[in-house]
Structure 1
Amino acid sequence: MARVTPWSLVLVVLCMTSWGSLVNGAAAAAGNNEGLGASFIFGDSLPDAGNNNYLQTLSKANIPPNGIDFKASGGQPTGRFTNGRTIGDIVGEELGVPDYAVPYLAPNSTGKANIIWLGLDIQIDYFNNTRQQLDKLLGPSKAKDYISKRSIFSITIGSNDFLNNYLLPLLSTGTRISENPDAFIDDMINHFRNQLTRLYQLDARKFVIGNVGPIGCIPYQKTINQLNENQCVDLANKLAVQYNRQLKNLLTELNGKLQGAIFIHANVYDLVMELITNYSKYGFTTASRACCGNGGQFAGIIPCGPTSSLCEDREKHVFWDPYHPSEAANLIIARQLVYGSTKYISPINLQQLRNL
């Protein structure tokens, strides 16, 4: 069996959501040294604002009851993998962004977002194209200032490398025989180092890097492994913890090595684990069962769709579907990232990063 390498199966989303509008904001920047720049978001399905609507993929959130609590759409599905707002939506609100992200693939997205579901290397290629467009729009000097001083680069990857690669039964056996966890994670980190350095060379300076969450505790993993309510898949979480340890070391390394850059570490693992472990403290009644889904004890096998079972108390569930948090959980996570202490976001939070 061919060796499956990190990043080969990862579904990565690049959202370039302008605070306001990229084109209008960049044009204004030509004569104004104040204000916000753009937010460049690299990630998986968690921050997707609806690009899955326009892709040939089985991973879809453009069907009800997804979006049932999303006020901006009147409760209609938009392609967000949750019942309401994503973490990115809420972070944007808290930082003063006037509009929600519009998917690049949508007909009305011009100037607001770029997105394609490919590997991160290709995502950076697309950012490079945008970077060149800004040079033409503003001139090289002002474009560099716009990117380096007033734009934030948010990157959360890694979960799919484990869930859809190393831990996927149909693909992972050969990989685990040919490559132990240490080597697999080393490959991930080394590749990520090169990718972050490449973004730095394209004038990115403000970075927010999320670690891998407790993937062994999502309803899907609990269901397929037939665990009880208080159990998580040990191997999945151990892999996440091992990767996260090396990721934190990488960010420390880059903070010391890449002059003028700041790499913020978002401790998503501990933050989500806190919600799962102490869910009742935050007003939830369950951190095991998906609100929307079908299959098994925790409705964790079949993704959310029109024929899924649907809970009535959506604000009481940590998980919306077998993989993704509910809006209620997203709200807690997002506010910790924007305003929280170094326990979850370090060395500074997103509000402080924006104001640098």
Structure 2
Amino acid sequence: MGVVRGRERAWEMIGVVIVLLWWKTQGLVKLPENMTVPALLVLGDSIVDTGNNNYNPTTLARCNYRPYGKDFEGGIPTGRFGNGKVPSDLVVEELGIKELLPAYLDPNLQPQDLPTGVCFASGGSGYDPLTSKLASAIPLPDQVELLRQYKQKLKALVGEDRTGFIISNSVVLVVAGSNDISNTYFLSHARQVQYDVPAYTDLMVTSASHLVKELYEAGVRRIGVFSSPPIGCVPFQRTLAGGVERKCVDTCNEAAQLFNSKLSQELASLNRQLLGSRIVYVDVYNPLLDVIVNYQQYGFKVGERGCCGITGEIEVAELCNHLQPTCADDSEYVFWDSFHPTETAYRKLIPLVLSKYLDQFF
């Protein structure tokens, strides 16, 4: 009885914290009537990693140093691949759950953060197993295993029934694919000798499908899978293969579009197969492309270079360091470094995406 009462008391205290956080971070998007999202769980790559790679001793894909995080709370570099908040934080904020989505591997993770969600993503990961291996990142299947571990910790904290409710009613996002196309296929050429683009995108979709099934088996029911972005338009790819004028690289974008088309079809099929599921294909390719191409209409002054570095054309990760200059005002830039958008760009993108797709999770 003492254990039960202690657990009930712990849950009451956590509930108070959640209510306080809700009042502080009431989101901009509206949930359908009588629907709730108790937590956000995120798997994927550097776009959504909130610091897990800080605690991955085998990888060099880290950014827990300045000037990363210069616009974060206190200017602290947390391991987020950007100048401030990343999509994981902005989605959980927009949903009115809490202000930040903590990294699951952070040793300072607080118990009260578990019921409202955590991030399992690892910068450098991808659908292709080789992608994570090349970056020594946490592979997506291992991220699912971390989610299973999270479930056990949650069960010890709030009990089996509440854990089941949280897992089945949470929104779980998967954000990957950029590293597969940009790095593993077009940059390192490690797969080009084995696959043409159609075959390689088939490999990616098969892996994505298997991942969704693994999440479903773990009890997840609301799954959003982001499309690949227009990877050919990031500053790095423009510099590498965009010619003298640094145009968007058609080969990369066409591969991304082919993958996205196949992914959309596969997710629609899984949504019919997996009973009780809400599996949502989330197109970020087109809205982000619009921001990049029509950047001035969104209030930006620079759309083809990153804020960090002397050139902003190639600097990313270790090349974006405290010895490198940054632009005077990163809010004027679509990109923070040569791969990752600024928090300002994400803030324009995320509400648009959520308002379009949120209803499909219910």
Query: How does the TM-score come out when normalised to structure 1?
Result: 0.80
- Which residue does the alignment assign to 1:97? 97
Q: Report what 2:127 is aligned to.
A: none
Matched, 1:165 2:184: yes
| Alpha-carbon shift at residue 303 of structure 1 (Å) | 3.3
Per the TM alignment, residue 202 of structure 1 is displaced from its structure 2 partner at its CA by 1.7
Structure 2: distance between partners of 1:321 and 1:211: 21
CA contact (8 A) 2:308 2:325 kept: yes
Q: Could you tell me how far apart the structure 1 residues matched to 2:323 and 2:303 are?
A: 22
Q: Which has the higher helix share?
A: 2
CA contact (8 A) 2:230 2:285 kept: yes
Q: 1: CA distance between counterparts of 2:85 and 2:36? A: 25
1:179-212 deviation per Cα after TM superposition (whole angstroms, max 9, x unaligned):
2222211122112212211211221111111000
User: Partner of 1:65 in structure 2?
Assistant: 67
CA distance in 1, matches of 2:46, 2:310: 20
Of the structure 1 ranges 307-316 and 91-100, higher mean CA displacement relative to structure 2 is found in 91-100
RMSD between superposed Cα atoms in Å: 2.7
| Percent of residue pairs bearing the same amino acid type | 33
**What are the ranges of 5 or more consecutive residues in structure 2 without an aligned counterpart?**
1-9, 16-33, 123-136
Gaps of 5+ in 1: 1-22, 342-348
Change (3 A) 1:127 1:309: same
| 3-state SS, counterpart of residue 193 of structure 2 | helix
Aligned pair count reads: 314
Partner of 2:337: 321
Match in the other structure for 1:120: 140
Deviations 1:45-91 (A, max 9, x none): 11122233333332222111211222xx2122222111121122122
Deviations 1:143-170 (A, max 9, x none): 3232112x1110011111112211123x
The amino acid across from 2:265 in the alignment is N
**Counterpart position of 1:344:** none
Instruction: Answer yes or no: is the 8 Å Cα contact 1:166–1:176 preserved in 2.
Output: yes
Which residue of 1 is the match for residue 86 of structure 2?
Answer: 86
Q: How does 1:137-176 map to 2 (within 5 A)?
A: 140-149=160-169, 151-169=170-188, 171-172=189-190, 175-176=191-192
Counterparts of residues 264-275 of structure 1 (less than 5 Å) = 264-275=280-291
Cα distance in 1 for partners of 2:299, 2:323 equals: 27
Shift of 1:141: 4.4
Which position in structure 2 is the counterpart of 1:130?
150
Counterpart CA distance in 1 for 2:109 and 2:39 is 15
2:22 is aligned to none
Aligned 1:35-54 pairs, distance under 5 A? 36-54=37-55
Partner Cα separation in structure 1 for residue 149 and residue 233 of structure 2: 38
Q: Deviations over 1:221-256 (max 9, x none)?
A: 111225355611111111100000000001111121
> Which residue of the partner structure matches residue 313 of structure 2?
298
CA separation of 1:54 and 1:200: change in aligned 2, threshold 3 A: closer
